[in-house]
């Protein structure tokens, strides 16, 4: 896991208020991106695996548990890089 492109659940919970969070939809599921477009970090597990959710509800539940109440949703179907 590269700290420049990855973030964990604990990292999400510790983000400063106002950090952009985007829920990205793809054919494989839903991914969580944190940060501005030029420095985005993708949610990973603590052991470095890319985290992909089967439903938006599951991703939103995790974000809610982290105290994140405002997100953007990208339904363009793009895949995380």
Structural domain span for residue 46: 6-74
| Chain centre to alpha carbon of residue 79 | 12
Domain assignment of residue 51, yes or no: yes
Q: Is 81 within the bounds of a domain?
A: no
Has residue 79 been placed in a domain?
Answer: no
pTM of the entire predicted model? 0.88
Q: Has residue 38 been placed in a domain?
A: yes
pLDDT value for 80: 64
Q: What is the pLDDT of residue 12?
A: 94
HEC string for 3-50 = CCCEECHHHHHCCCCCCCEEEEEECCEEEEEECCHHHCEEEECCCCCE
**How far apart (Å, rounded) are the C-alpha atoms in residues 4 and 72?**
21
Tens digits of residue pLDDT in 42-60? 999 988 889 999 999 999 9
Residues of the chain with pLDDT below 50 are none
Does residue 15 lie in a domain region? yes
């Amino acid at each position: 896991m590269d700290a420049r492109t990855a973030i964990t659940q604990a990292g999400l919970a510790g983000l400063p208020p106002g950090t952009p969070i985007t829920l990205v939809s793809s054919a494989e599921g839903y991914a969580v991106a944190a940060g501005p477009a030029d420095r985005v970090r993708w949610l990973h597990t603590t052991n470095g695996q890319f985290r992909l959710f089967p439903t938006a509800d599951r991703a939103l539940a995790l974000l809610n548990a982290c105290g994140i109440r405002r997100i953007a949703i990208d339904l363009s179907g793009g895949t995380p890089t």
